Chains A and B, each alone.
Chain A
Amino acid sequence: MDKRKRVLALLLMLPLLVSCWDRTEIEEVGFVIAASVTSAESVKEDEEFDVGEDKLALTYQVAIPARMVGGGEEAQDERPFLTVKTTERSNFGANRNLPSRRPRLMNYEHLKVVLLEEELVEKNMLKYVLDFFIRDHEMRRNTEVFIVDGDASMVLNDDRLPDPLTGMSIMSTAENETRDLAMLEPRTISYVTNALLNNSNFVVPRLIERENTSYRVRGGAIFSGDGKFMGWLSDEMTIGLKLMEGNMKNGIVETAIDDEQDKLFVFETSRMSRNIEVDTSGETPSFHVSMKAEGTLVESWIEDEEAVSPAFINEMEESVESYMVDQAEKTDAFLQEDLYLDILGLVEELRIQDHELWRQLKDDWDGPEGVFRGLDITISADVKIRHFMTKERVF
């Protein structure tokens, strides 16, 4: 009896060894830092993507930790990563092509960026392509997404000193959007998924591949709420969009007084906000976007004795204001007249301020027949130049 009990106790302790099933040695894992999804070469450019028939081409950038230490001269000829390319009908399928080719199993817990090729998203593949990257439990929700203008897999083959891991350097580059009005805020997988689920239009930053020189993160790709690629947002349109989003951060405005090109000066923003007023008294709602910015004069080429007088500062403020309103209006016209697509979040604003009206209008908001196209949108700006740094005028 006693013996039997002891044996039973030992048997019952077996489950304590559960961890053995999930043991992974760090030497046997390849950490994927960046991934790019393109369509395989066999897919013709002007044809629809035939799901289940056509193949995706996946390129993974896998870190080689041993080469990351040390650095210096030798680091240049031994890159701290390798790229693997494979084609398959689905993402996960492509992933399972790799075990037969590489000793290490891929691990996505440190995936930083996902690059999607323009040609692929043009064929409305965004939803399908992203599914794997959000569904799998290893994925982070804050992996960043970029749409690549050019060959996405080539981007990952280049190392960018001083950040040799391309995935990391793209991420750091995207963070610099605070300094450049033509750069969009980085967008995470979580953001894109939520937008798709909410059926709200969204913009994803664009990464421009420039052969053998460097990439550039500027502008964006516009998608409708159902994941359809609607077109590129050019650098100039991006400026207007960021202004209307109240998102200038440390962006600059380079302009001249009264459009006289020789009176050039630069205004750097330090604070900015935006307010949208909805007027629902009319038949269709009308919107008023008011932007408020304050900042500094950081460069001025104006040779004028009066350059520091309050009246003159006012004049400068006015020209910055008119620049902002101009840019915003250009973007607005592009969205209302060319794309018929609201990426300004006006429909959201309506939802918050007049729920009932929003319910009636939300379903036919966008599109050539939609409400958005005919909306009356007015834009105003209010700029304050707080100081002019350490120097009053040009010599």
Chain B
Amino acid sequence: MKDQSAAHYTMSPLELSITHISFTISAGILTVPRALVYILESSFGWISVITCGVIVCLYIWLIFLLQKKLGNEGLFDYLKRIGRLKWAGKLFSLLFFLYFLAFFCIEGRILARVVQIYLLDQTPAEVIFLFMVLATTYACSKGVEGIVHISLMYFPFVLSVLAIVVLLNIGNFQVNELRPFVAGDVMESFNILRMFYFFLGFEIFFFFQKYVNPVEADGRKQKKLKPLRTYILGVGSIVFIYGMIVVFSYGVLSVEATKVMPFPTVELSKEVEVLEGLIERVEPLIIVMWIMTIFNTMAILHFLAADTFHAQWLPGKNANTIAFTFGLLSFMFAFYPESLTETLYMSEWIGYGGWIVVTLFLALGFLTIRKNSRSTRGTPADTKPGGEVSG
């Protein structure tokens, strides 16, 4: 991994926000409508989506506050620097490593299965997964810069393909499927416990925020940039994208049908027929788009897990070895669940696990930093962060 470049790398809040969006909407985009309908048994999904968005905003705000105290270093860097907190850094890097590994395996497994169902039914899932792992290993050898740039490049494509599916389905949309918009059991839609894991992804703010540098090359602080507002807008986009997909799945496929489909978004694209059959099949396009987002997410997971673990446990060793080991482990664990059903079931538990890890880590941050508020000042990393940036 390119450690040297990472030390000088800076990104704008917008870039971080886009990375966050692409990181979050990966596997979720295919399965979120179904998960929602399972929980709600009716069509008030959009309320839950908004509630989740609000909670994510809250988390991001807290992480943002934390980062303000930390200045130019990440929480992990801080834990490592403070001698008596080293164990916490090690523990949490291990927890994150495991969480990201599990997440990575699930995403890869779903990817392999979807490709097999809709595109290449003879190709073994193992080969598809292997190919994916090789690609993400390569991507994360390029360091944080490479990872962020992948997100930036893919994002417009993802958006445009989703827009195509939604626009072409307007004709099939039936408002009555969604009506009544508000009725008796609306309170149930606030019970978001079982869908919140679709919104996990804001943990990258722990890792990447230290690169966000609202300081211009000449050392002046950029007042115009309002990072928090950009992040919140990013969450808004996630809510909007999920919301559109959910509303269209319900409106086009109907609530009951969404319930029995493993991948409603792909089925949504199968409803599309352009110009009386001129373009009959849009779903390969959707799947390709989706492979792009899921590759993106997997690369970020791969990078974060390997990078954090490397920094906390084996700073002396070659980081690429850890990335490679991660890939190897993922290949072994990914095929542990016996079926797609089991995979989807496990993903829920991994989601809960991740949520707990993130929350604990945030709490730890607030506890320790308040205590050590003096020692954060005047660290070498804190002085003139923008000075080193060249152009």
List chain A positions with a Cβ less than 8 A from chain B: 12, 15-16, 18-19, 21-22, 109-110, 137, 140-142, 190, 193-194, 197-199, 348, 351-353, 355-356, 359
Contact = CB atoms under 8 A, between A and B. Distances in A.
A355 B123 contact: no
A21 B259 contact: no
Interface of B: 117-124, 127-128, 130-131, 134, 176, 179-180, 183-184, 253-257, 259-260, 267, 270-271, 273, 280-281
B256 A197 contact: yes
B262 to A, nearest CB: 11
B256 A18 contact: no
Nearest to A13: B134
Nearest to B259: A197
A140 B124 CA distance: 24
A197 B120 contact: no
Given A137-B118, A140-B270, A21 B123 contact: yes
Contacts, number: 67
A348 B130 CA distance: 49
A113 to B, nearest CB: 13
Given A198-B254, A356-B184, A190 B271 contact: yes
Given A18-B123, A21-B120, A140-B280, A198 B183 contact: no
A355 B183 contact: yes
Contacts of A141: 267, 270-271
A25 to B, nearest CB: 14
A12 B176 CA distance: 53
Contacts of B254: 194, 197-198
B54 to A, nearest CB: 26
A19 B123 CA distance: 8
Contacts of A109: 280-281
Nearest to A191: B254
B180 A355 contact: yes
Given A21-B127, A353-B180, 19 more contacts: A12-B134, A15-B134, A18-B120, A18-B123, A18-B127, A18-B131, A22-B121, A22-B123, A109-B280, A110-B280, A137-B121, A141-B267, A141-B271, A190-B253, A197-B256, A198-B254, A198-B256, A198-B257, A356-B183
The 5 A-B pairs at the shortest CB distance, nearest first, are namely A197-B256, A355-B183, A21-B122, A22-B120, A21-B123
Nearest to B266: A137
A359 B128 contact: no
B257 A351 contact: no
24 contacts: A15-B134, A16-B131, A18-B127, A18-B131, A21-B122, A21-B124, A22-B120, A22-B123, A110-B280, A137-B121, A141-B270, A190-B253, A190-B271, A194-B254, A194-B256, A194-B257, A197-B256, A197-B260, A198-B257, A351-B180, A352-B180, A355-B180, A355-B184, A356-B184
Contacts of B273: 142
Nearest to B128: A18
Contacts of A22: 119-123
A19 B119 CA distance: 10
Contacts of B270: 140-141
Nearest to B130: A15
A353 B179 CA distance: 9
A15 B184 contact: no
Contacts of A12: 134
A197 B257 contact: yes
A199 B131 CA distance: 43
A131 to B, nearest CB: 11
A19 B117 CA distance: 15
B293 to A, nearest CB: 20
B127 A194 contact: no
A280 to B, nearest CB: 14
A12 B134 CA distance: 8
A352 B179 contact: yes
A9 to B, nearest CB: 11
Nearest to A139: B270
Contacts of B257: 190, 193-194, 197-198
Contact of A194 (B120, B122, B253): B253
B117 A137 contact: yes
Nearest to B129: A15
Contacts of B271: 141-142, 190
A52 to B, nearest CB: 23
A197 B257 CA distance: 6
A188 B288 CA distance: 27
A314 B132 CA distance: 72
B284 to A, nearest CB: 11
A142 B183 CA distance: 32
> Which of B124, B257, B270, B271 is the most central at the interface, judged by chain A CB atoms within 10 Å of its CB?
B257
Contacts of B183: 355-356
Contacts of B117: 137
A16 B119 CA distance: 16
A57 B57 CA distance: 58
> Which of B134, B254, B273 is the most central at the interface, judged by chain A CB atoms within 10 Å of its CB?
B254
A359 B183 CA distance: 11
Nearest to B268: A141
B327 to A, nearest CB: 11
Given A21-B124, A142-B271, A359 B184 contact: yes
A364 B134 CA distance: 58
A21 B257 CA distance: 32
Nearest to A345: B176
A198 B123 CA distance: 36
A193 B184 CA distance: 27
Nearest to A197: B256
A351 B127 CA distance: 49
Contacts of A15: 127, 130-131, 134
